[in-house]
Amino acid sequence: MTTLEWRGICLDRGGQRVLDQIDLSLTSGELLGIVGPNGAGKSALLRCAAGLDRPATGEVRLDGQGLTSLTAGSRARRLAYLPQSAEAAWPIPVRAAVALGRLPHGGCATDQAAITRALEAVEMSRFSERPLSTLSGGERALVLLARALAVEADILLLDEPCAALDPHHQLAVLELLRRQAEAGCAVGLVLHDLSLAARFCHRIVLLAEGRTLAVGPPETALSDAMLAQAYAIRGHRVLVEGKWLLVPWERLPSE
């Protein structure tokens, strides 16, 4: 069982508090959705977990061990991180771009098989020899996701992996990530689409102004009261094939 923990995390940028006393955990077998309005601290939460930002106070722990006590190589093998709006305009073959995800493993014998699995998982195998720079924005996003998958890490941290994708591929990616979690990976991802978050995530953490408003199953964390407090919106819920579909419905009047 792998466990990633944010313990009392506070993060400051430019004299402003970005994260304020965050206590949260992510475990194997879980797809954790990180949601909240713009500027809530969602990306900062992932960056702290990936070791890219050092908190002012508090600590990120991996299986009970402080993240800063791990070597960079160990972190890179155990935590795969896909940033928001990652650059992907290099004129290198798609397969070579995905192979970058294997760098933390130092050229082990299983590299080629891992690269092939990652490309197949995002249905991009047919583009493996195409220059990355010739792909559409959505196709490049899938290649970057494959690069993260190729690490075959215990933990996947993904910042808006569906942002550039059409509805078909959004569903495909969320189905894939749910399978990754159910196979034993710990998956944390930032989403803006509340309907996708409610449908696919095991748990939701709702952030606003750097603080945790709610953590729990979608029906609890995305309740009417929480949506009103975080987004100043009202949601509409419809039962579809035995599951509740959440649709952001209307803005609430400003106080």
User: Which pLDDT tens digit goes with each residue over 180-231?
Assistant: 999 999 999 999 999 999 999 999 999 999 999 999 999 999 999 999 999 9
pTM given for the model: 0.95
Q: Rounded to an integer, what distance in angstroms lies between the CA atom of residue 57 and that of residue 8? A: 7
At 51 the three-state DSSP class reads: coil
15-22 CB contacts, 8 Å cutoff, 24+ apart: 17/210, 18/44, 18/210, 19/44, 19/45, 19/48, 19/55, 19/210, 20/209, 20/210, 20/211, 21/58, 21/211, 22/58, 22/210, 22/211, 22/212
Share of the chain above pLDDT 70, in %: 98
Confidence of residue 86 (pLDDT cuts 50, 70, 90): low
How does strand 65-66 pair with strand 79-82? unpaired
Q: How far, in Å, are 60, 80, 177, 230 from residue 86 at the CA level?
A: 23, 14, 19, 27
pLDDT 10s digits, 32-43 = 999 999 999 999
Please report the sign of the dihedral spanned by the C-alpha atoms of residue 200, residue 202, residue 206, residue 211: negative
Provide the CATH number for the domain around residue 203: 3.40.50.300
Confidence of residue 232 (pLDDT cuts 50, 70, 90): very high
Total count of domains within the chain: 1
Could you list the residue range(s) of the whole structural domain that residue 163 is in? 3-251
Higher pLDDT, 146 or 85: 146
Q: Rounded to an integer, what distance in angstroms lies between the CA atom of residue 98 and that of residue 148? A: 8
- Token output for 213: 């408003």
Q: Rounded to an integer, what distance in angstroms lies between the CA atom of residue 90 and that of residue 119? A: 18
- Token output for 11: 């993060």
Please report the sign of the dihedral spanned by the C-alpha atoms of residue 128, residue 133, residue 135, residue 138: positive
Mean per-residue pLDDT over the chain, rounded: 94
Confidence of residue 109 (pLDDT cuts 50, 70, 90): confident
